[in-house]
Chain A
Amino acid sequence: MHNDYQTFNSKILKIGKEGSDSKTYTLSLPYKGFKFAPGQYVMISLPGFGEAPISISSDVSETKNFELTVRRSGVLTTELHKKKKSDIIGIRGPYGNAFPMDLGKGKEILIVAGGCGIEPVRPLILDAVRNPKKYKKVSIFYGARDEDAMVYAKEYAKWKKVCDFNLTLDNPKSKKFRKGVVTTLFDVKKIPTDSIAYICGPPIMYKFVIEKMIKQGFDPKNIFMSLERHMDCGQGVCQHCAVGPYYVCKDGPVFSYEQLKNFKTWLKPI
């Protein structure tokens, strides 16, 4: 019988450094026909160290390889950071749903990201850069800890050609950067409240960003967020990632705020 837990080997083709604690891995396709949509994730496997869900961060138009950006944060990711070019990573997936990109077509869209939350939304940004006429306007609010924690810094210039890219740092070392958390950008830039918003960041960020957006008059139906959870199976069985009636691994990781706002368990720990 087909075994859903069997991983496929991907070869590391290139490793790029992203600030002081993240790396972008360009990987060969794990199997023929591997395809994904922006917002989806794969389970990565390093035998002996287990598995973890990681969002795919590359451009969907790239069909020969794909990219994962991984911050060193736990046992598995620390081990991954030791890997070198030509080493092998186990992959299964892609899993989960995608950001509803069509909803934003012809409209203004807002992308809000905190820390390594920029990774799952990067396919969206790269798609927008490739199709400058797809949206009326693309605004990006990105908040990072400091200069060392900025991910994809080399690409910002390219993004700026199409997007209104706004960066803020919690603790900037130089005066060149805006200081403050990502929520402060909502006071600086006025975004039309009928825009479609795509958000990804640490749990604490959601609480404040959503509070701010609801106050400004955004529609909960137009706010889409990608959630991080502990996952073991990736297929809605093991229960670790459950939020209310949903499984983040299968029904998510992207949810509209409308779907989540009533569930007791969702905003509470944040």
Chain B
Amino acid sequence: MTKAQFKKFTDYLIKNNQVIAPQYDVEEILHLNELNNSADLYLGTELPLDSWKFYMLPHDQKMFEYQGDKLKETLPKIDKQVFLGVSILDMQALTLLNQVYEKDAYYQDIKKKTIVIGTSLVPKDGFNKFFEVFEENKLEHLQFDIFLAVQKDNYKIFTGSNDGQRLLDKFSAKGGSTSGGGYKKYQHIEYAGPIREEGLDQRMVDIKDAMQNNHKDKIWQDLGKRCIECGKCTIACPVCFCFRMYDQADLDQDKGRRSRCWDSCFYNEFTQVAGVTPKSPKHRFMTKTAEKIYFWYEHHFVRTPESFSMPGCVGCGRCTRTCPADIDITQTIQDILKKKE
């Protein structure tokens, strides 16, 4: 697909769907927003500040409407959406979310209506990525619909789902009848699960092993002194997915909604349970900052690999970018991996 064809493809997508894509805002910060004009699309190596989870896992989601004792399921009301220009790192994040929320009716309803169009572009410098180099054989371990491998003057096109194939076929049929601008010469890649042929990601295994078998208390005590528990890293992270559920009553008697919203393990209530009586103090299993930040790392580098055989960090560096206390995840990982304290 040539760059001119790609512009046509983008226009075609905008015309028929809600397209979410990286765009610079007026303050020149790269954000994900609805794309209305193909000229505004940013397709480059910089990662947007916000991640695609904002569109897959809405920060506040109505789950049920209740009346009396009855809960009525309310699925998200969204139209078909296209994610355009998803970096490989973010594709890896979406692949993980797909596993975590495999059985979740709400997530799956949104996933069903979402087309993911990835690109081989990754940040050039800075963070030590899990996906150091793009290679075609890594694509079979990522879930996507269409993938653009960026080449010198054009894009090599891959499909990862039937939805992706249908979309390209449809575009080709349409483009063929007007100006001949379609694209049918894609290659299809079948998802082969998260584990590569060479086995588990060695870096993931090493970090997990170090966290579980070579605990260095100093790292966490030091971070505990610096972290201010703001929770921004949990918002910025494309694979921080924890949530809390809450009920909200309507003004009408006996009616209301049950929802879920993003939560953060840095908040005091995260591990709170009731006290001995309604008036006694609540019990919290985590109270110290060091415990909370350890819990955050444990989720990404121990629990996620344990449950899904996938790294719980895609190396996007968003947590480091947003941290007001300058906590650098690359540095922490280096410290975790150091043989001696």
Q: Give me the interface of A with B, judged by CB distance under 8 Å.
A: 1-7, 9, 21, 45, 47-51, 72-75, 77-78, 88, 90, 115, 202-203, 228-230, 232-233, 235-240, 242, 244-245, 247, 262, 264-265, 268-269
The distance in angstroms between the C-alpha atoms of A230 and B294, with both chains bound, is: 18
Considering the complex, give the chain A residue whose CB is closest to the CB of B109: A1
A6-B71, A47-B247, A238-B243 known; A230 vs B273 contact (CB < 8 Å): yes
Contact with A along B62-81 (1 / 0, CB 8 A): 01101011110100000000
What is the distance, in angstroms, from A197's C-beta to the closest C-beta of chain B?
23
A90 neighbours in B (Cβ, 8 Å)? 69, 71
Enumerate the 3 nearest inter-chain pairs by beta-carbon distance, A residue then B residue, closest first: A74-B274, A239-B242, A47-B66
- B66 engages A48 (CB within 8 Å): yes
Q: Answer yes or no: B40 CB below 8 A from chain A CBs.
A: no
- A47 engages B71 (CB within 8 Å): yes
The distance in angstroms between the C-alpha atoms of A21 and B69, with both chains bound, is: 25
What is the distance, in angstroms, from A234's C-beta to the closest C-beta of chain B?
10
- A228 engages B287 (CB within 8 Å): no
A3-B73, A229-B273 known; A72 vs B278 contact (CB < 8 Å): yes
B302 neighbours in A (Cβ, 8 Å)? 244-245
- B277 engages A5 (CB within 8 Å): no
- Count A/B pairs, Cβ under 8 Å: 131
Other-chain residue from B64, B258, B307 in contact with A236 (beta carbon distance below 8 A)? B307
- A240 engages B244 (CB within 8 Å): yes
Q: Answer yes or no: B101 CB below 8 A from chain A CBs.
A: yes
- B215 engages A7 (CB within 8 Å): no
A1-B105, A4-B104, A73-B275 known; A47 vs B69 contact (CB < 8 Å): yes
What is the distance, in angstroms, from B108's C-beta to the closest C-beta of chain A?
6
Considering the complex, give the chain A residue whose CB is closest to the CB of B249: A48
- A73 engages B242 (CB within 8 Å): no
Question: Secondary structure at chain A's binding surface: helix, strand, loop or mixed?
Answer: loop
Q: Answer yes or no: B44 CB below 8 A from chain A CBs.
A: no
B215 neighbours in A (Cβ, 8 Å)? 264
Q: Answer yes or no: B303 CB below 8 A from chain A CBs.
A: yes
How many of chain B's residues have a CB under 8 angstroms from any CB in A? 57
CB-contacts of B260-281 with A (<8 A):
260, 263, 265, 270-278, 280
Q: Answer yes or no: B295 CB below 8 A from chain A CBs.
A: yes
B242 neighbours in A (Cβ, 8 Å)? 237-240
Q: Give me the interface of B with A, judged by CB distance under 8 Å.
A: 63-64, 66, 68-71, 73, 100-101, 103-105, 108-109, 212, 215, 217, 241-247, 249, 254, 256, 258, 260, 263, 265, 270-278, 280, 282-287, 291, 294-295, 298-299, 302-303, 306-307
- A240 engages B270 (CB within 8 Å): yes
The distance in angstroms between the C-alpha atoms of A48 and B259, with both chains bound, is: 11
The distance in angstroms between the C-alpha atoms of A233 and B242, with both chains bound, is: 10
The distance in angstroms between the C-alpha atoms of A49 and B302, with both chains bound, is: 34
- B274 engages A77 (CB within 8 Å): yes
- A240 engages B307 (CB within 8 Å): no
Considering the complex, give the chain B residue whose CB is closest to the CB of A1: B105
What is the distance, in angstroms, from A21's C-beta to the closest C-beta of chain B?
7
What is the distance, in angstroms, from A188's C-beta to the closest C-beta of chain B?
26
What is the distance, in angstroms, from A168's C-beta to the closest C-beta of chain B?
18
- A240 engages B263 (CB within 8 Å): yes
- A4-B105, A230-B272, A244-B302 given. 12 additional CB < 8 A pairs? A3-B73, A3-B105, A9-B69, A9-B70, A48-B247, A48-B256, A50-B247, A74-B278, A115-B276, A238-B244, A239-B299, A269-B291
A2 neighbours in B (Cβ, 8 Å)? 103, 105
The distance in angstroms between the C-alpha atoms of A268 and B286, with both chains bound, is: 9
Identify 10 residue pairs between A and B in the complex whose beta-carbon atoms are under 8 Å apart, listed by A's number: A2-B103, A74-B274, A77-B274, A115-B276, A230-B285, A233-B245, A237-B100, A237-B243, A265-B295, A269-B286
Considering the complex, give the chain B residue whose CB is closest to the CB of A115: B276
The distance in angstroms between the C-alpha atoms of A5 and B106, with both chains bound, is: 10
The distance in angstroms between the C-alpha atoms of A233 and B243, with both chains bound, is: 9
- A72 engages B104 (CB within 8 Å): no
Considering the complex, give the chain A residue whose CB is closest to the CB of B112: A1
Other-chain residue from B68, B104, B245, B291 in contact with A265 (beta carbon distance below 8 A)? B291
- A269 engages B284 (CB within 8 Å): yes
A74-B278, A240-B242 known; A269 vs B285 contact (CB < 8 Å): yes
The distance in angstroms between the C-alpha atoms of A1 and B303, with both chains bound, is: 27
- A237 engages B241 (CB within 8 Å): yes
- B276 engages A229 (CB within 8 Å): no
The distance in angstroms between the C-alpha atoms of A98 and B254, with both chains bound, is: 36
The distance in angstroms between the C-alpha atoms of A224 and B51, with both chains bound, is: 42
The distance in angstroms between the C-alpha atoms of A2 and B271, with both chains bound, is: 28
B68 neighbours in A (Cβ, 8 Å)? 47
What is the distance, in angstroms, from A187's C-beta to the closest C-beta of chain B?
26
- A237 engages B101 (CB within 8 Å): yes
The distance in angstroms between the C-alpha atoms of A7 and B294, with both chains bound, is: 34
- B104 engages A237 (CB within 8 Å): yes
What is the distance, in angstroms, from A214's C-beta to the closest C-beta of chain B?
20
B249 neighbours in A (Cβ, 8 Å)? 48
- B278 engages A73 (CB within 8 Å): yes
Considering the complex, give the chain B residue whose CB is closest to the CB of A88: B69
A47-B258, A238-B242, A238-B263 known; A6 vs B73 contact (CB < 8 Å): yes
B108 neighbours in A (Cβ, 8 Å)? 1
The distance in angstroms between the C-alpha atoms of A247 and B289, with both chains bound, is: 21
In this complex, the member of A1, A49, A78, A262 whose beta carbon has the largest number of chain B beta carbons within 10 angstroms is A1
In this complex, the member of B103, B256, B299 whose beta carbon has the largest number of chain A beta carbons within 10 angstroms is B103
What is the distance, in angstroms, from A51's C-beta to the closest C-beta of chain B?
7
